[in-house]
Amino acid sequence: MNFSHLLDAFFRRARSFSGIDPARDWLFLLISSTLVLSGIIVWNAWAFDTVASGGTIGSSATSTAPIFDQASLETIHVIFAERAAEEEKYMSGVYQYADPSQ
């Protein structure tokens, strides 16, 4: 059975829209799902190849906003410096506390 004979049979069945034809419906369902699955596979292969080779999908950003500014970074440094100073006070014995377990 050749491919053109299958296509002719499919189109003949598809033209007769009178009544329920399970063979026509299943054939249409299988062909359409195969086409959709093939499209999805091709799209994912193209997208993977594009990203793996360093490209971008869609329009690339022309300029990027800074991730952080220097003022907020300095604030973080000050906070950690204050915490280190407090830790040093606990370690050196500046802060005295009574241990209730003794």
26 lies in some domain: yes
77 within domain boundaries: yes
Q: How confident is the model at residue 52 (pLDDT cuts 50, 70, 90)?
A: very high
Q: Residue 48's domain spans which residues?
A: 3-55+69-92
**pLDDT value at 39 more than 80:** yes
State the total domains in the chain. 1
What pLDDT, on a 0 to 100 scale, did the predictor assign at position 24? 80
Q: Specify the DSSP class assigned to residue 19.
A: S
Identify the helix (H) or strand (E) that includes residue 91: helix 70-92
Q: CA-based angle 92:98:101, to the nearest 5?
A: 120
59 backbone φψ class: left, alpha, beta (φ>0; ψ -120 to 50): beta
Q: Which residues of 49-75 are buried (b: 16+ CB within 10 A; e: fewer)?
A: eeeeeeeeeeeeeeeeeeeeeeeeeee
